[in-house]
Amino acid sequence: MTDSNLNIAVVGAGPGGYAAAFLAADLGMSVTLIDPELNPGGVCLYRGCIPSKALLHVAKLIEESEQAKNWGIDFAAPKIDLARLRSFKENVVKKLTGGLGVLSKQRKVKYVQGRAAFENSTTLRITKSDGSQESLTFDRIIIATGSRPAIVPALKLDTPRMMDSTGALNLDDIPGSLLVVGGGYIGLELGSVYAALGTRVTVVEMLAGLLPGADRDLVLPLHKRLEKLLDGILLNTTVASVKDEGTGIRATLRAQDGNVQEKVFDRVLVSVGRKPNSEIPGLEKTGVTLGPKGFIQVNKQLQTTDSSVYAIGDVVGEPMLAHKASHEGRTAVEAIAGHKVAFEPNAIPAVVFTDPEVAWCGLTETQAQNENRDVKVAKFPWAASGRAITIDRPEGLTKLLIDPQTERVLGVGIVGAGAGEMIAEGVLAIEMAALAKDVALTIHPHPTLSETVMESAEVFFGTSTDIYRPKRA
């Protein structure tokens, strides 16, 4: 049997699963894609990245219309038609998931709406959405079951007032007040949406700063803007308990310094991280093994400890990001097809879609410090960028982390409007082993924010056009 004649199953149709299934079909394999939803899409399209970005787009518009006062344009306060906003978001989801359904059919991927359980390493028992069951045998199975919100036992209350990201994205109402537990990706993105819609939002973060994974200089401009937008940001604080009082949730907030305060909120969003969906029924009948945090263990080809089973995406480990899952999915399929491949990226971009956006890739300054690595950091403040001034967003910052010996770009960090789009240039620079000189000599269009990447490289050589540094005597 040639590798392209293989019969494979992909369990889970998120950005990892459908990317894997589609590539497998493109390579000539016979593919079955199994997921409980009507169409492929997974958490990202149905309950994550996509609906949240539709809402964040609206939030940005509202905030910008407020800022327009500074430019002599005074808009009336927005009237929010929640039903129409919800239907905009739902149509975005329908369009994209429906499109994936069409792409599955065009590729002749057999899409099964249902849930899969393992009978052994190559046989799945699939319970379809209509309740019928079917056992199917495959040459290889790819697990792409993703992750779910982590739960804090102290915050378990059975009331719609307590929400995870799925509940918050439903946008049932615009609550008067919202407590966000966890100042990470989800808390800050969805907290910003609700704040823009008019909710008084308080964010509680157990660590000393927001977005603990990002460098502090990148978080600072966001923190400053959020201080204006939000009702409160409580760092070094946890929620000790919550109580349903019928008309609201009474939360006990405990700070590290011992300070305890009680506050009542209309709703609470718990966004304290995610857990892998590795409790797949029958998995114990295979040779797949799990690591300490419940992630499925895989090698660089995404093969598990059972040679017939591969696993990709959130279920195999951090970072739990859609684009990492898609690339892993494609690598797994190529490995199954017999290609010589490994998942060994030099940079996986991270983007927090707040306003300003925070984005980074490759080595971070925090990581360099922790690993005692000698790096030069070249920073270009957006206050010196013509484009940033024209859009009245001078608070941004672009920085490059550069190896002082080889002058290779090892990491890129950007905070500012549109940072999420700009970080792709950093990823390309790192993957192509670009030197600071390559970036400095690459002609960037003027006037754009992208010039800040080029000028950061010029800062490294002390010759940035838009920053004057007097020569040392």
Residues noted as catalytic? 446
Minimum CB–partner distance for residue 348 and ligand NAD (Å): 11
Considering beta carbons, is residue 272 or 435 the nearer one to ligand NAD? 272
Considering beta carbons, is residue 39 or 271 the nearer one to ligand NAD? 271
Positions in 353-382 near ligand NAD (CB under 6 A): 353
As a whole number of angstroms, the longest Cα–Cα distance in the chain is: 82
Which residues, at least 6 apart from 75, have a Cβ–Cβ distance to it below 8 Å? 65, 66, 68
Pick the closest to residue 328 from 340, 344, 305 (CA basis). 344
Long-range Cβ contacts of 121-128 (<8 Å, 24+ apart): 121/285, 121/286, 121/287, 121/306, 121/308, 121/309, 122/308, 124/9, 124/11, 124/34, 125/282, 126/34
Positions in 208-247 near ligand NAD (CB under 6 A): 212, 238-239
Cα distance between residue 277 and residue 11, in whole Å: 11
Minimum CB–partner distance for residue 357 and ligand NAD (Å): 9
**Binding range to ligand NAD, per CB under 6 A, among 115-123, 176-184, 219-227, 393-401:** 176-184
Question: Which residue from 143, 206, 415, 440 is in contact with ligand NAD, where contact means CB under 6 A?
Answer: 206
Minimum CB–partner distance for residue 287 and ligand NAD (Å): 28
Question: Which residue from 9, 50, 56, 204 is in contact with ligand NAD, where contact means CB under 6 A?
Answer: 204
Q: Is 205 in the site for ligand NAD (CB under 6 A)?
A: yes
Point out the residue whose Cβ comes nearest to ligand NAD: 184
Minimum CB–partner distance for residue 387 and ligand NAD (Å): 24
Cα distance between residue 89 and residue 91, in whole Å: 5
Cα distance between residue 268 and residue 158, in whole Å: 12
Cα distance between residue 56 and residue 59, in whole Å: 5
Question: Which residue from 97, 123, 192, 271 is in contact with ligand NAD, where contact means CB under 6 A?
Answer: 271
Pick the closest to residue 376 from 405, 396, 342, 355 (CA basis). 405
Minimum CB–partner distance for residue 53 and ligand NAD (Å): 8
**Binding range to ligand NAD, per CB under 6 A, among 185-193, 226-234, 283-291, 333-341:** 185-193
Count of residues that interact with ligand NAD, criterion CB under 6 A = 26
Helix residue spans in 232-301 (DSSP H): none
Cα distance between residue 433 and residue 456, in whole Å: 17
Binding mask of the shown chain, residues 302 to 321, with x at each position contacting ligand NAD by CB under 6 A: -----------------xxx
List residues bridging with 178 in a β-sheet: 201, 267
Burial of residue 62 (CB within 10 Å: 0-12, 13-18, 19+) is middle
Cα distance between residue 151 and residue 415, in whole Å: 30
Q: Is 272 in the site for ligand NAD (CB under 6 A)?
A: yes
Question: Which residue from 141, 186, 268, 363 is in contact with ligand NAD, where contact means CB under 6 A?
Answer: 186
Minimum CB–partner distance for residue 184 and ligand NAD (Å): 2
Cα distance between residue 155 and residue 240, in whole Å: 8
Q: Is 351 in the site for ligand NAD (CB under 6 A)?
A: yes
Considering beta carbons, is residue 274 or 327 the nearer one to ligand NAD? 274
Considering beta carbons, is residue 103 or 255 the nearer one to ligand NAD? 255
Crossing angle between the packed helical segments 82-106 and 15-26, to the nearest 10 degrees? 30
Q: Is 296 in the site for ligand NAD (CB under 6 A)?
A: no
Question: Which residue from 37, 189, 328, 425 is in contact with ligand NAD, where contact means CB under 6 A?
Answer: 189
Pick the closest to residue 31 from 4, 2, 10 (CA basis). 10
Burial of residue 442 (CB within 10 Å: 0-12, 13-18, 19+) is middle
Question: Which residue from 50, 181, 233, 253 is in contact with ligand NAD, where contact means CB under 6 A?
Answer: 181
Minimum CB–partner distance for residue 338 and ligand NAD (Å): 32
Which residues, at least 6 apart from 403, have a Cβ–Cβ distance to it below 8 Å? 374, 375, 376, 410
Binding site for ligand NAD (CB under 6 A): 152, 181-187, 189, 204-207, 212, 238-239, 271-274, 319-321, 351-353
